[in-house]
Amino acid sequence: MLAVGLAVAGLAVAAALTLKAFRENMMFFVSVSDVVAGNYPSERNFRVGGLVLDGSIEREEGSLDVRFVVTDLRCELPVMYTGVLPDLFREGQGVVAHGRMRSDVFVADEVLAKHDENYMAPEVAESMASHVEEQTATLRENGADCEVAG
């Protein structure tokens, strides 16, 4: 009987540790508009995605620091990244960035670019599609508030 009790306790501890590890490593996707509105996990990293705004890429000469703006066609979010960007990264293309907000800038640890002309991450495509639908109705009526919430 003692052996059964110890086995059940061991399984419970293993299950609890596994669930904790999943929660800590889970990466949430948050739309650009939600980030701008302040609806994002402030204590952990998350993913944000959209299109790289034309004319927004700024590189510091002699450095790996890059600044650009990501849009979901409703709001815009400034992004800062230090590192080598993917070969497919360019203006007007879809990206997903992993990182966290610092003040009013998203500081990315990793930037992923779409891998061909027809693909966009499902979360990004869904977010952008919903904002395109909202945009036609909402912007005509009362405009959009897209100031980054600090």
More confident residue, 24 or 98: 98
Q: CB of 72 within 8 A of CB of 120?
A: no
pLDDT tens sequence across 49-103: 899 999 999 998 999 999 999 998 889 999 999 999 998 899 988 899 999 999 8
Residue-by-residue DSSP string for 14-58: HHHHHHHHHHHH--EE--HHHHHTT-S-TTS-EEEEEEEPTT--E
Q: Give the whole-angstrom CA distance, residue 97 versus residue 64.
A: 16
Q: Give the whole-angstrom CA distance, residue 88 versus residue 145.
A: 31
Q: Give the largest CA-CA distance in the chain.
A: 71
Domains defined for the chain, CATH in brackets: 27-141 (2.40.50.140)
Return the pLDDT at 7. 77
Tell me the pLDDT band of 6, cut-offs 50, 70 and 90: confident
Return the pLDDT at 111. 94
pTM assigned to the model = 0.68
